[in-house]
Amino acid sequence: MNDSIKQMGLKEWAYLLTLSILWGGSFFFIEVCLQSMPPISIAGGRLILAAICLHAFRLIARRSFPRDPKILLRFLILGLLNNAIPFSLLIWGQTFVTGGMASLLIASTPFFTIIIAHSFTSDEKVTLIKFLGILIGLGGVAMIMGVQDADNQLIGKLAVIVTAILYGCGGVYARTLKKYELDPLTTATGQITFAALAMIPVIILIDRPWDLPMPTAISCTSLILMSILTTAVAYIIYFRILASSGATNVLLVTFLNPVSALLLGAIFLGEYISISQIMGILIIGVGLIFIDGRILFRLRDRG
């Protein structure tokens, strides 16, 4: 097998950009939901609605659901690593830090993924130039977000960092499903379904939803959009990229999340984009060029 991280084609990059827009919007949806919903209920509701949506997609596509206990166990583990635990931590963390800070910290995911993939896989070994690309990309994200306000607290930041580590573990663990040759829709449905089932007793024990006040209409709308777009649809795309390009490449999307969040804010909320933020976007682009490697290899060959 190839000893380095796989290069992505134009189709994979298009999927990656689409995924970044979807996941970049999730930080905004979370902030709206937190106005009238507790974190655990948001995480659980997001997964339950997404599971229903994915099963509807599966039935329309006439895809059967696996019954092999080995596959189901992997769905459960993946759902915990990729969804139930990190979603809960991320949303809880955003009660202490802004969505912008959360997106910045989540951008550290590829760094953890590279370490985990390098340690536990045979075909995603990191090279020096790709590691340099990761560091350049993180520098660009830091420039975009700028100096954060004093309200950000350490406990919230730590919760988001643990989320990033879990995403890295989930991305690498998802490779164990490759031998079963499952399509992206089936894998996404299995993962989200077991994550949703795991969250139901947590919601009942912690939030006691029957005692909670009725959430606002805008929070409910945000939860529905987050469930369908940034969870159900996004994870179908996620597993499609993972199958063709590997765990490290698919989690490059966390570099692009702050970029898409910034652009969405400017387009729909009229937020100001500073020169430092534009420079940050350009630096992220340089980091992605280093990680992808094709342009650098072509320049080297011409030299």
Q: How is residue 166 written in tokens? A: 């879990």
- Tens digits of per-residue pLDDT, 28-37? 899 889 999 9
* Closest to 255 measured CA to CA, from 10, 5, 17, 3: 17
Asked if 100 contacts 258 with a C-beta cutoff of 8 angstroms, the reply is yes
Vertex 288: Cα angle to 282 and 293 (nearest 5): 130
pLDDT at 42 over 50: yes
Which amino acid does the sequence have at 288?
A: L
Q: How far apart are CA 37 and CA 124, in angstroms?
A: 40
Share of the chain above pLDDT 70, in %: 86
107 versus 27: the higher-pLDDT residue is: 27
State in Å, rounded, how far the first CA of the chain is from the last one.
28
Per-residue pLDDT band for 249 (boundaries 50, 70, 90) equals confident
Extended beta strands in the chain, E state: none
Greatest CA span in the chain, whole angstroms? 69
Angstrom distances, CA of residue 41 to CA of 33, 51, 119, 299: 10, 15, 35, 51
Give the mean pLDDT of 55-67. 94
